[in-house]
Structure 1
Amino acid sequence: MVTHTTRRTATLVAIGALALGMTACSLSGEGGDGGDKGEERHESASGGSGEEGEDGEEGSGGDDAGPAPQLLGDGSTADTGPQPHQPPDPEPLAPGEEPPQFVVFSWDGAGEDDNQLFSRFREIGERYDADMTYFLSGIYLLPESERLNYEPPGRQPGASDIGYLSDEHIAATLEQVRLAWTEGNEIGTHFNGHFCGPTGGSSWSVEDWIDEIDQAKWMVQNWRTTTGLTDEEPLPFDYEEELIGGRAPCLEGQENLLPAAAESGFRYDSSGNALQVWPRQRHGVWDISLQSVPMPGRSFETLSMDYNFMVNQSGEGSGDPAMWPTWQAEMHDGLMAAFDRANEGNRAPLIIGNHFNQWNGGIYMDAVADVISEICPRDGVECVSFRQLVDWLDAQDPEVLERMRGLGVGEAPPGGWESFLAG
């Protein structure tokens, strides 16, 4: 495994010229949204940074919020205490109790560019009380002038299949990450260079994945040094504690990623393909993968991700604008059908993945926004982050979870939940 002592000690503090614009599949889109804010379910935890966002939103505390933040490393991150706006500590299901219908909305890449989709969905999450998981790509906090500090497995230093961000967009991404965490969302990882195919993650060893995880952490923990943005506030969390899971680019390499994730202290991974059933642990890590969901009007199902709907509709390029309304409805209706069959059946968590994109005019962003607004305010539905979901799973009786895992896709428990989970 490559060590990064040299990189960490030799990096110069400098603000380089503007880096290349974003070319990542996870960034490009636009849009706005309306609607009323849903009822708050979460209560603020103690602690927090005490900062206030530029838009006037309260941060995670005030003068009485507890001890001052403890800066970590070069001051890029800080221990600000317990994360605000978290649900109460989960408890085991009571005998005969129906499980909540969990839904996880997650975002690969999670950077903020001129289309401002990170901020758009942060605000939608606040409006409809939907906590989400934002999988941050490490290089989105590394300026291109410092790209040689990234040493991807099997590639030349600085190589990446997604673009580095400009200083302006790095600063904007930092702001969104700060606000997202303070509002109760989770910051996971989408790793770094987004390599796919024969020389991507599918070819990486366990040691390669551990190295990639270490570098993702390093980029988040040292952006103040690498960017020279010393006037920016620190991220309000210890990333060693915050980072408990991720999703691999192109969903490749999970077999070696899982043992690497376990060694790196991860609690879950979302890099595979699964059915809509209750998840299980592999290598001591919860495998909470994306799921096969209905594709309206088709004889097959597709993966619960915007990219997969797009590929089945228009390939990897833009399609006929006349079809955009139809395709938007297909994604919306497919996700709603997946929700309905879980909610009325085995109540397995629904896992939805997305990218900040403008594919086919941004229709997939609008479809996801509509789904969030329709399902998250419902009674019995919990729109949560992966961290919150695994907290709940870890609190359950393993025998109860195993019984629920025996229910097939859309299968309601025989005799109802009261009978099925009756002691």
Structure 2
Amino acid sequence: MGRARRAVVGACAAAVLVPVAAAGCTAGPGDSGGKAGEQSGEHADPGTDARAAARKSTSAHLIGDGSTAWTGAQPAQPRVRKLAPGEKPPQFVVFSWDGAGETGDGLFRHFREVGRRYDAAMTYFLSGIYLLPESKRSLYEPPGHAPGASDIGLLSDAHIEETVDQVRGAWLDGSEIGTHFNGHFCGPTGVASWSKEEWKSEIAQAEQFVKRWKTNTGMRDAAPLPFDYDKELTGARTPCLEGAGNLRAAARELGWRYDTSGVSEQVWPAKEDGLWDLSMQLVPYPGSDREELTTDYNFKVNPLTTPANAQSQMRDGLLAGFRRAYTGNRAPLIVGNHFETWHDGAYMRAVEETIKEVCPREDVRCVSFRQLADWLDAQAPRTLRALRGLEVGQAPEGGWGALGRRGSGVQ
């Protein structure tokens, strides 16, 4: 298969049809050599989230109306260093969630617990309107649509409160809070048609709904989100993987660091339009000679998937992609999901089984996108050029010690 990027048909399009299309390890020898828990202490038990937030808020510098606060450096972050010459890179894996809302099914909370159990930081792409109550929906002015319009539903007040609790806890766990923007508009009149300036408006509104959730909900006594969202927000995934060109132009001007709105093969990332292209990838589809995108939605709509084999097909496909990278070029594996119960939760179980299988391995680092970008930024340009010279599944000829040496064929 060639190195050219492929278009994806219908990725995440089902999110338009469901009321809540909610979204989604730690870096190393690229770091000090241990897993994240060994570097930064044990992750907090979920029952301590509220107490931890309260302790941090007593010395926090509240921002704006107190919806967010500066509480210091984020906990549970890995140390990063350059690879030594000839050193094998860690196998990075990123698990991410589109929409990232808590809607009463407990999936957000559950996967935070899974992340703590298996030393997996993740990225949660929060939809801004998930913190906007129905009574205030007209505050949202989507480009090209009437005020208050949205192709996904807004959350109840109770679910907004639960979502805030989970976002707060996820950040304290060490995971990343990105954005999935707001109204999830796909198709010809959706995000693919937006200009750079319209993307800036959408981003500004997504940020404001996070930065003013207390004012908009009236929950003024709740603990703040323990981060400055202007500094925290450094990347995103677009609805249906559409409109990435103008989004990247806007994101670059806003100082973002990465985008994950495309389709890629399992090769080492490069920068595109000044941002790391950390797109989801094509992995083997079990029982066929084709490949599928590393997202639950695309496995769901694959004509070879049935309710009976959904869990095994996605799990085995992700593990096949993992093994191909792990024994080959060590390119990061990028996985995207939604908090959905399609096929009776088969894809949720597939993702959890994959996390359980890969993240505890000593030389695997299950990281957030931001942590992966940190590691990439720390590497020598020559090292990254050498890594990008490896094809899908290709281990260096002569071993990792030979990579980048004169005459190795990769410079």
Aligned to 1:200: 190
Q: Which amino acid aligns with 1:71?
A: L
Q: Partners of 2:112 and 2:51 in 1: how far apart?
A: 14
Residue 114 in structure 1 maps to residue 104 in structure 2: yes
Q: Which amino acid aligns with 1:76?
A: S
| SS in structure 1 of the partner of residue 225 of structure 2 | coil
Aligned to 1:230: 220
Aligned to 1:19: none
Aligned to 2:40: 43
CA displacement at 1:57 relative to structure 2: 5.1
| SS in structure 2 of the partner of residue 198 of structure 1 | coil
Of 15, 20, 23 in structure 2, the residue corresponding to residue 24 of structure 1 is 20
Aligned to 1:11: none
CA displacement at 1:58 relative to structure 2: 8.0
Q: Partners of 1:365 and 1:273 in 2: how far apart?
A: 21
| SS in structure 1 of the partner of residue 393 of structure 2 | coil
Q: Partners of 2:400 and 2:104 in 1: how far apart?
A: 48
Of 47, 72, 76 in structure 2, the residue corresponding to residue 55 of structure 1 is 47
Aligned to 2:388: 405
Q: Partners of 2:48 and 2:54 in 1: how far apart?
A: 14
| SS in structure 2 of the partner of residue 161 of structure 1 | coil
Aligned to 2:6: none
Query: Does the Cα contact within 8 Å between 1:271 and 1:289 map onto a contact in 2?
Result: yes
| SS in structure 2 of the partner of residue 41 of structure 1 | helix
Q: Partners of 1:66 and 1:236 in 2: how far apart?
A: 7
Aligned to 1:306: 296
CA displacement at 1:39 relative to structure 2: 8.1
Q: Partners of 1:138 and 1:58 in 2: how far apart?
A: 22
Question: Within 5 A, what are the aligned runs for 1:103-142?
Answer: 103-142=93-132
Q: 1:217 to 1:58 in 2, by over 3 A?
A: closer
Q: Which amino acid aligns with 1:83?
A: Q
CA displacement at 1:56 relative to structure 2: 3.3
Q: Partners of 1:293 and 1:405 in 2: how far apart?
A: 18
| SS in structure 2 of the partner of residue 55 of structure 1 | helix
Query: Does the Cα contact within 8 Å between 1:44 and 1:86 map onto a contact in 2?
Result: no
Query: Does the Cα contact within 8 Å between 2:36 and 2:77 map onto a contact in 1?
Result: no
Aligned to 1:7: none
Q: Partners of 2:296 and 2:70 in 1: how far apart?
A: 35
Q: Which runs of 5+ in 2 are unaligned?
A: 1-17, 24-34, 407-411
Question: Within 5 A, what are the aligned runs for 1:250-261?
Answer: 250-261=240-251
Question: Within 5 A, what are the aligned runs for 1:137-148?
Answer: 137-148=127-138
Query: Does the Cα contact within 8 Å between 1:346 and 1:413 map onto a contact in 2?
Result: yes
Aligned to 1:346: 329
Q: 1:164 to 1:25 in 2, by over 3 A?
A: same
| SS in structure 1 of the partner of residue 221 of structure 2 | coil
Give the TM-score normalised by structure 2.
Answer: 0.88
Q: Partners of 2:199 and 2:57 in 1: how far apart?
A: 38
Deviations 1:307-331 (A, max 9, x none): 000001488xxxxxxx534221011
Give the TM-score normalised by structure 1.
Answer: 0.85
Deviations 1:212-268 (A, max 9, x none): 111110000000001101121100000000000010000001111111111111100
| SS in structure 2 of the partner of residue 187 of structure 1 | strand
Question: Within 5 A, what are the aligned runs for 1:166-315?
Answer: 166-313=156-303
Q: Which amino acid aligns with 2:131?
A: L
Query: Does the Cα contact within 8 Å between 2:143 and 2:198 map onto a contact in 1?
Result: yes
Q: Which runs of 5+ in 1 are unaligned?
A: 1-21, 28-37, 46-51, 316-322
| SS in structure 2 of the partner of residue 260 of structure 1 | helix
C-alpha RMSD of matched pairs (Å): 2.1
Deviations 1:75-102 (A, max 9, x none): 00000000011111x1111011001100
Q: Which amino acid aligns with 1:152?
A: P
Q: 1:54 to 1:356 in 2, by over 3 A?
A: closer
Aligned to 1:164: 154
| SS in structure 1 of the partner of residue 227 of structure 2 | coil
Q: 1:117 to 1:416 in 2, by over 3 A?
A: same
Q: 1:60 to 1:265 in 2, by over 3 A?
A: farther
Aligned to 1:4: none
Residue 102 in structure 1 maps to residue 86 in structure 2: no
Of 68, 74, 89 in structure 2, the residue corresponding to residue 77 of structure 1 is 68
Query: Does the Cα contact within 8 Å between 1:95 and 1:422 map onto a contact in 2?
Result: no
| SS in structure 2 of the partner of residue 40 of structure 1 | helix
Question: Within 5 A, what are the aligned runs for 1:149-160?
Answer: 149-160=139-150
Query: Does the Cα contact within 8 Å between 2:238 and 2:244 map onto a contact in 1?
Result: yes
CA displacement at 1:363 relative to structure 2: 0.2
CA displacement at 1:283 relative to structure 2: 1.7
Q: Which amino acid aligns with 2:342?
A: W
The percent identity for this pair of structures is 57
Q: Partners of 1:66 and 1:224 in 2: how far apart?
A: 15
